[in-house]
Amino acid sequence: MRCDDVIRELANPTEGRDPIELAYHLAHCKVCARKADQSIRLEQIWEATRPSDPPAETWDRIWDRVRGRLEGLPDASHSRPPRWFRLSSRNVARARSWGTVAAIGIVGVSQAAAVMLAFGLSWKSPYSTPPTGVEIRRTDAPMVVQTLSPTGHDPTVEIDEGQVVLIKTEGSQIQVIDLSSGEPADNVDRWYLAFNDVESMANPVVAMAE
């Protein structure tokens, strides 16, 4: 999955979502992991500071007050919406723009809520760590792991999890070299980031500002 896919998937999960792949990406992509962390912290702050919902009596009082004001209006305007609800022609354009802003806000808030929910779920998911049990063979120096000679049919190269393989062809021989070199000190898989870079290179995203 690309970073864009991960963020989109977290913002708006699809039915075909693969939690293992998602967790794998978050475990290897520092940028997305940081975003996930920030979202979780934001969610925690929101949970800790959000105002409590007003009690039912408060709502009743508000509606009573609104009803009282509506009933107190003159007959001529009784069938019309209250003054604060009406739009003068002068304010129609402004109201439209505010309506658009409000709509964008609603969409943004709903998307943000979905992102926070998705991050929260993935954080607590049993798939939060990449699947284990696969032996990852790494060496300090590049190592030839297979030498294949074509025998009439195309050879098959097997790559294990964690290997970075270079298939080197010289004449009729194929050498398979493992370039991976141990766990990185900062726990960031540079080859995985390189994969993201190559993918972005192939499908560049153009950012536009108004």
Partner 1 sequence: MPRVDQVELDVRKTVVFLLMVSGSLIGSGHPVALASGVKNSNDFQKASQVTLVAVQATPGSQVVDPRLGGVRTQLKQILPNHGFQLLDAKSQRILQDQSVRCDLGEGSTAEVLLRQVLDDTGKLELQLLLLHEGQAVFSTFVKTPSNQLFFLERTLMDGRHILIGVGAR
- Asked if 110 interacts with partner 1 (CB under 8 A), we say yes
Name beta bridge partners: 174: 148, 169
Token digits for 169?
A: 């062809």
How far is 7 from 196, CA to CA, in rounded Å? 14
Residues touching partner 1: how many (CB under 8 A)?
64
**Minimum separation from the CB atom of position 124 to partner 1 (A):** 22
Per CB under 8 A, which of residues 20..49 are in contact with partner 1?
A: 21, 24-25, 28
Whether 176 contacts 144, CB under 8 Å: yes
- Asked if 104 interacts with partner 1 (CB under 8 A), we say yes
Binding string to partner 1 for residues 60 to 89, with x set by CB under 8 A, is what? --------------------xx----xx--
- Asked if 158 interacts with partner 1 (CB under 8 A), we say yes
Q: Which of 10, 15, 17 is nearest to 36 (CA)?
A: 10
AA identity, residue 49: T
Name beta bridge partners: 147: 175
Q: Which stretch binds partner 1 (CB under 8 A): 35-43, 64-72, 120-128, 191-199?
A: 191-199
Site for partner 1 (CB under 8 A): which residue of 106, 113, 121, 144?
106
How far is 66 from 168, CA to CA, in rounded Å? 79
Instruction: Return the residue matching tokens 């989109």.
Output: 8
**Minimum separation from the CB atom of position 57 to partner 1 (A):** 30
* Residues 93/96/102/107 CA torsion (nearest 10 deg): -140
Given the rule CB under 8 A, which residues bind partner 1? Answer: 1-2, 5, 8-9, 11-12, 14-16, 21, 24-25, 28, 80-81, 86-87, 92, 95-96, 99-100, 102-104, 106-108, 110-111, 114, 148, 154-169, 174, 179, 190-195, 197-203
